[in-house]
Structure 1
Amino acid sequence: AEKAAWKFAEENNIDLVTVIPSLMAGVSPTIDVPSSAFLAMSLITGNEFLINALKGMQMLSGSISISHVEDVCRAHIFVAEKESASGRYNCCAINTSVPELAKFLSKRNPQYNIPTEFGDFPSKAKLIVSFEKLIKEGFSYKYGIEEIYDQCVEYFKFKGILQN
């Protein structure tokens, strides 16, 4: 779809700017919990299928890249309003690995049985998604990993997915 948008923009002399979001987490304004939130929270919920999907994401892309949904929305508005913006912008607040994320979540949420041993699975991110272009334009992220996951835990409790 993005390729078609770039082709259309070029053929019609339209300036196009795109924001490529990473795995989005945080409180959603939708009634249903988005699948991306379930994926981001899989280490806490213990959903083995989604934990394996998270591992697959790391194996394919080299890291687990995460942003708060509000920061992704803010990034879209930011580049749309910024005259100097052009091309593609990666929106990624955090680059991590499954084992690093699990250790962080386990320390921050000891009440949940979060797996922290992953055998020979790569413990460090091999590649990181660069958010440098967006930052150089003047964008700043509002949410770090602590805020993203604290909100997600509270959101999942509110939705009845996690126990208090």
Structure 2
Amino acid sequence: MDETCWTPLHLSFACSNVHLKAYVDSKTLAEREILSYGSSKNAGLEIVTLACGLVGGDALLSFTPLSVAMFLCQLTSSAIEYQSLRFLEELLGKIPIIHIDDVCDAHIFCIENPSINGRFLCASSSSVSSAEIASYYQQHYPKLQVKPEYLDGPTREMGLGSTKLIEKGFVYKYDTKMILEDCIKCARTRGDTGL
């Protein structure tokens, strides 16, 4: 999977609901449309899109962001966030992840480099399965009770080609462990019960 890959439209997925599917379809259509203006010789626009993975880490918000809640859904037993996490995994094979600080730095990097244009996949070099996230929490936070069904899941491999941004000189600072740890920190700071 790399920047040339697009989410297929109008497919049905086992973990999908009408809202998730509409969100993904509208996001894909909007990105394709805006990129078409950047490729038009007459438009005179330089367009950059960053297709970000699931964003984790701490936040400046007074509440736990939805994307962080998706990372933690196997600890909180939140069915809605777990369905969203599984939908993302089903859609992409594995879950591309990125820390919020890397997202911010990637945006600044693209703004400060006028030679950059086009579409970039913005995700740390690792992608994980929902079962790998659950296994991490079970191993490092045994008191938080991960349900056994969360430890089962697809074991397929996925090649994530987010090297285009790296080739331009961008450096990701956060790995999987750091992202997951900062998600726990974010929820605990905001007083989320059970964590």
Shorter-chain TM range is 0.7 to 0.9
Offset at 1:116? Answer: 4.5
Partner of residue 113 from structure 1, selected from 145, 148, 155: 145
Identity of aligned residues (%): 28
Distance 2:54 2:106 in 1: 14
Gaps of at least 5 residues in structure 1 are none
Contact kept, 8 Å, 1:99 with 1:116, in 2: the verdict is no
2:75 is aligned to 44
Contact kept, 8 Å, 1:58 with 1:97, in 2: the verdict is yes
TM-score between the two structures when normalised by the length of structure 1: 0.88
Partner of residue 171 from structure 2, selected from 112, 115, 140: 140
SS in structure 2 at match of 1:74: helix
Partner of residue 87 from structure 2, selected from 56, 67, 73: 56
Partner deviation per Cα, 1:37-91 (whole Å, 9 max, x = no partner)? 1112112222133223212211111111111111011111112212332211111
1:8 is aligned to 37
Distance 2:45 2:94 in 1: 33
TM-score between the two structures when normalised by the length of structure 2: 0.75
Partner deviation per Cα, 1:107-160 (whole Å, 9 max, x = no partner)? 122121113445873124x43432111111111111111111111112111111
Task: Give matches, 1:69-80, under 5 Å.
Answer: 69-80=100-111
1:86 is aligned to 117
Distance 2:85 2:109 in 1: 29
Gaps of at least 5 residues in structure 2 are 1-29
Matched, 1:153 2:153: no
Partner of residue 98 from structure 1, selected from 130, 142, 145: 130
- The one-letter code of the counterpart of 2:94 is S
Distance 1:108 1:81 in 2: 39
2:56 is aligned to 25
Distance 2:151 2:171 in 1: 36
